[in-house]
Structure 1
């Protein structure tokens, strides 16, 4: 039987993918006490980068926002792998967003809202989080966005 958060995902039409495996020397997540830290997730769909290139150059602002949303979906897949039950998430504490973009781009926050908005849609007030968003010249696999997360577990 699906828990409250998985029911919410179903209402939103979201199916969690199989969690991505690390592409280098790191683990997808670590747990210390009630703290879960999830490594950065890129906008993978069916094993391929769904949004590649720099936001505002090869990727539109709206597609950048969709990429951030997809990154959060991939974060949730890792959370489920780590905990076995998304209802164990007591709170989304922090999201870190990396936006591949040209130097003159300044709308990083708008892109990252794709992830932040979904966190609140899924977890309600427990999805409201602290956040850092920065622009970078490139990301692994030419991904447009990467999002990492920190969660408090019950």
Structure 2
């Protein structure tokens, strides 16, 4: 018998909040804006997040570009940190990660230097965390793009869209 994403997130044994506990993950304080914009916007059953950075407060936890100052492993970890910030923001917005039916879209922007080809490995830092928390059935569509620079000099910025369970 298969379960829908709605049934999965409503089960206390397999919900995202329970998975965080099982994984031993404690979410950071949600990020605050660096300028004049909303950190998240809900439209119908979708929640759109502003670009998520690997920061604590307004302080970057990673600085540099893939292929110059950082290797793929460091950039991958920065994607994971940005994803943790996204989860913290979603929890603040919705009250619980269990309200998420699925991750719809994950966009990953990677600051690179030169001819770098490890973009997917870097993006997996966020993808693995999201899959661990929401389950494989909630894997999003994903786009990964190399860029020249990102805010605060960070190596990764995430763009996320979530579907909210009814």
User: TM-score higher than 0.5 here?
Assistant: yes
Equivalences for residues 10-89 of structure 1 within 5 A: 10-45=21-56, 47-89=58-100
Q: Give the 4+ runs in structure 1 shifted more than 4 A.
A: none
Bigger radius of gyration among the two: 2
> Residue in 2 aligned with 1:93?
104
Q: Give the number of aligned pairs.
A: 154
> What is the Cα-based RMSD across aligned positions, in Å?
1.8
Alignment partner, residue 140 of structure 1:
151
Cα deviation, residue 16, structure 1:
0.9
Q: Quick one: distance in 2 between partners of 1:75 and 1:64? A: 17
* Runs of 5+ consecutive residues of structure 1 not aligned to the other structure: none
In the TM superposition, residue 105 of structure 1 has moved relative to its aligned partner by 0.8
Taking structure 2 as the reference length, the TM-score comes to: 0.87
Cα offset, 1:46, TM superposition: 5.6
Where structure 2 has 5 or more consecutive residues not aligned to the other structure, the ranges are: 1-11
1:34-81, Cα deviation, whole Å (9 max, x unpaired): 000011111113652111100121111101111111111111011111
2:116 aligned counterpart, secondary structure: coil
Normalising to structure 1: TM-score of the pair? Answer: 0.93
